Structure 1
Amino acid sequence: MTEPVTVICPYCGTQFETLADCSAGNQTYYEDCALCCHPILFHLRVDENGKLLHLETLREDE
């Protein structure tokens, strides 16, 4: 189950849309910015039914 999410790159400030895979439960993973290609750290939290609760994006060095 993927869900479209809009994020803002913590490096360059670009807003872009990506897909969050909620089927695997809570996750921490990296995805590159669509514009500046810096690695963004994603912290994904989902509930017991696989519904997205919270998505936090951070710089790699935070």
Structure 2
Amino acid sequence: MLDTVPIDCPYCGEPIEIYIEPAEESHRYVEDCPVCCRPITVSVQVHLDGEISVSASSQDDA
């Protein structure tokens, strides 16, 4: 089951929703912004307590 997470695009600043698949391990992937089409590096961290945190950065910051 996919979860939606609100983020702001690191390029254009527009608020967007991304879909993440909860996993047992932390992971990174690239997703294009649906507004400006620039590549966003999405990092999903799974903490020991099962809490998930998501961060987004530009390819320049990655």
Global fold match (TM > 0.5): yes
The residue identity in structure 1 corresponding to 2:54 is L
More helix per residue: 1 or 2? 1
Cα distance in 1, alignment partners of residues 50 and 57 from structure 2: 22
The residue identity in structure 2 corresponding to 1:56 is S
Change (3 A) 1:7 1:56: same
**Residue ranges of structure 1 left out of the alignment (5+ in a row):** none
Cα distance in 1, alignment partners of residues 7 and 56 from structure 2: 8
TM-score (norm 1): 0.82
Q: State the aligned residue count.
A: 61
The 4+ residue runs of structure 1 with deviation greater than 6 A are: none
More strand per residue: 1 or 2? 1
Identity fraction in percent: 31
**Residue ranges of structure 2 left out of the alignment (5+ in a row):** none
What corresponds to 1:39 in structure 2? 39
Cα distance in 1, alignment partners of residues 5 and 36 from structure 2: 18
8 Å Cα contact 1:3-1:21 kept in structure 2? yes
RMSD: 1.7
Cα distance in 1, alignment partners of residues 55 and 49 from structure 2: 19
What corresponds to 2:59 in structure 1? 60
What corresponds to 2:14 in structure 1? 14
